[in-house]
Amino acid sequence: AKRQGVTICKGHKNYELMLNLQLGIRHSVGRPAPTKSLKLKPTAFDTQQKLWTKFPPEGSKHTPPHQSCEFKWKDYCPLVFRTLRKLFNVDPADYMISICGNDALRELSSPGKSGSFFYLTHDDKYMIKTMKKSEVKVLKRMLPAYFEHVKSFENTLVTKFFGLHCVKLSGPIQKKVRFVIMGNLLCTEVPIHRRYDLKGSSHGRITDKPETEIDANTTLKDLDLKFIFRLRKDWFQEFYNQVNKDCDFLEQERIMDYSLLVGISFQESTREAVNEGPGLGRTGTTRVSTDTDAVLNPARWASVRLGINMPSRVEFTVRSHETQLIGEPTQEFSDVILFFGIIDILQDYDISKKLEHAYKSFQYDSTSISAVDPRLYSKRFKDFMFRVFAYDS
């Protein structure tokens, strides 16, 4: 499959930034600071302390000489993220090799509309996203609750955050670049054929790409979804419980605008279906699939009678800005392995969203747009997910 993004080589406009980031991470992660327990003192979450490390090109007592421009580096709540990495079973040495090894990062052609840049490590394991100041603020604010949440729920679907950092360029332009390091949800051994970013809203929730350009790297949206996912009943139950808990958490933190990112790997009919065993994020079945080619070709979607892991199919239609699943079960299905998680969880219901809502409400049915309040957002999100995910009865 085609690899996503552009490798950042010398001459790339963000080459130096990448070097800075790698130097900073090596500095932070490499520092010997054993974390024996998963318990943290409240002071670990203190974000008042401003600890900048200066990285002059010639090197300093604590920093190595380097080829990049002079910059300053800041780690937010380093002990918290160190403990989170431990909780998520990230080995510090592997983490450093993935991010700071000799291989360059790849820059994705801005997959979101927010203006953030995304970088992937060479091994696809980690995704680095640049953040707005407001998003950093939200993450700092919710960090204690986030920590408790991910500690309590091993199977949580919310994004795993491994580090929050800031690079400040020295010199005349004191530009600050803030970024978060997270797990790439779609880093898998099996090929991902289709990816969907689902919110449960319908306004603008359709890809703007022509059908012929849709491929494995296209992020499809709610209205592009032509099927539902039928899970084994016990897995569905687990999914149901976890989505409820995760949404409660996000609602309490007044977060909105998040999505369920779903990656689908269609299993070929000839291959023995992979059975990953129970557990969220990976779902296998042992059934035989239908025509994979047809499934991957949007032009043929109308004729393909497809369901996933399930003997049924439903179709979407848009009715007065409301997403509706309609259609009769087709009794046909295709085996898939699903990978999913809740992403983009750092947008809170702030003034700008309130304004956006007020403005958009004039033109559209207000429940169909994404900027509704966090309680409505989570309700609509869950309602949608529990229609799109179902179980074999």
**Chain residues that interact with Ca ion, rule: CB under 5 A:** 114, 344
Taking the least distance from each CB to Ca ion, the nearer of 219 and 330 is 219
Amino acid at 109: S
- Residue 185 in contact with ligand ATP, rule: CB under 6 A: yes
Contact 122, 19 (CB under 8 A): no
Region 81-100 residues binding ligand ATP, contact defined as CB under 6 A: none
Q: Which residue lies nearer to ligand ATP by CB, 262 or 336?
A: 262
CA distance 384 to 247: 13
Residue 334: partners with Cβ closer than 8 Å, 6 or more residues away:
266, 267, 289, 290, 292, 295, 306, 307, 308, 309
Reduce the DSSP state of residue 216 to 3 states and report it: coil
Reduced to 3 states (helix: H, G, I; strand: E, B; else coil), residue 224 is: helix
116 near ligand ATP, judged by CB under 6 A: yes
- Minimum distance of Ca ion from residue 348's CB (angstroms): 11
Helix 133-152 vs helix 233-252: crossing angle, to nearest 10 = 130
The answer to whether 127 contacts ligand ATP (rule: CB under 6 A) is: yes
Among 170, 218, 219, 324, interactor with ligand ATP by CB under 6 A = 219
Angle at 142 between CA 106 and CA 248, to 5 degrees: 100
Of 100, 142, 167, 343, which one interacts with ligand ATP (CB under 6 A)?
343
Residues between 25 and 84 with contacts to ligand ATP, criterion CB under 6 A: none
DSSP string, 150-165: HHH-TT--BPPEEEEE
156 binds ligand ATP (CB under 6 A): no
Q: Which does 382 bind (CB under 5 to 8 A by kind): ligand ATP, Ca ion, none?
A: none
The site partner of 219 among ligand ATP, Ca ion, none (C-beta below 5 to 8 Å per kind) is ligand ATP
DSSP characters for 261-277?
A: EEEEEEPPSSSPPP---
Q: Does 344 bind ligand ATP (CB under 6 A)?
A: yes
Which lies closer to ligand ATP via its Cβ, residue 54 or residue 176? 176
By CB under 6 A, the residues from 195 to 214 that bind ligand ATP are 195, 197
Kind and range of the H or E run holding 361: helix 351-361
Asked if 218 interacts with ligand ATP (CB under 6 A), we say: no
Report, in Å, the least distance between residue 343 CB and Ca ion. 7
Integer Cα distance of 222 and 325 in angstroms: 11
C-beta atoms surrounding 146 within 10 Å: 21
72 Cβ contact list (under 8 Å, min separation 6):
52, 53, 54, 55, 167, 168, 170
68 binds, among Ca ion, ligand ATP, none (CB under 5 to 8 A by kind): none
Considering only 114, 297, 330, 366, the residue that binds ligand ATP (CB under 6 A) is 114
With CB under 6 A as the contact rule, the residue among 113, 208, 320, 326 that binds ligand ATP is: 113
> What is d(CA 101, CA 122) in angstroms, rounded to the nearest whole number?
9
Of 22, 68, 83, 159, the one binding ligand ATP (CB under 6 A) is 159
Nearer to Ca ion, 98 or 116 (CB): 116
Residues that bind ligand ATP (CB under 6 A): 111-114, 116, 118, 127, 159, 182-186, 195, 197, 219, 261, 343-344
